[in-house]
Amino acid sequence: MKRYAGILVKCGDEVLLCKRNNNGDLPGQWSIPCGHLNEGETPRQGAIREFYEETYLKADNDIKLLGMITRYTRDGIKVKGLMYVFLMEVDKKIIPDLNKAKDGGEHTETGYFGVNDLPLHKSDQLGTIVKNLLNK
């Protein structure tokens, strides 16, 4: 089973999400900057690396594990892996630079969203994690 890791950025009562391009995994869906783990890489190391590669932003080393979610194939039927979701809380919004990021092209746009305007399916695993975080 493949392993993935990503970072959810929280600023006040909003979270940073990125809209995936239509060519790769999760086409056209909003998600967090994330990707597969390299061999020998811990979930924390992978999350920090992927976050930088996709946003051109440095993540704090003190990110906290929020939970794990199952990743499915595009048809939503077959399990393809497990994703570790980490939390990074910031006092001021940080804005990804998709043009400078090595893998910034994986996303078409970014934005901050509150619990009432989340572009996530609140019934999916990531949506549930985000909703629970913002409702605390």
Domain range summary for the chain, segments of one domain joined by +: 2-134
Q: Which amino acid is at 53?
A: E
Q: What is the pLDDT of residues 93-121, one digit of tens each?
A: 999 999 999 999 999 999 999 999 999 86
Q: Token pair 């051109």 is at which residue?
A: 56
Any idea which of 27-36, 53-62, 113-122, 127-136 has the lowest mean pLDDT? 113-122
Q: Token pair 């092209």 is at which residue?
A: 105
Please state, rounded to an integer, the average pLDDT across all residues of the chain: 91
CA distance 26 to 30: 8
| pLDDT cut 70: percent of the chain above it | 96
Domain 2-134 has CATH 3.90.79.10: yes
Query: What is the mean predicted confidence (pLDDT) over 74-84?
Result: 82
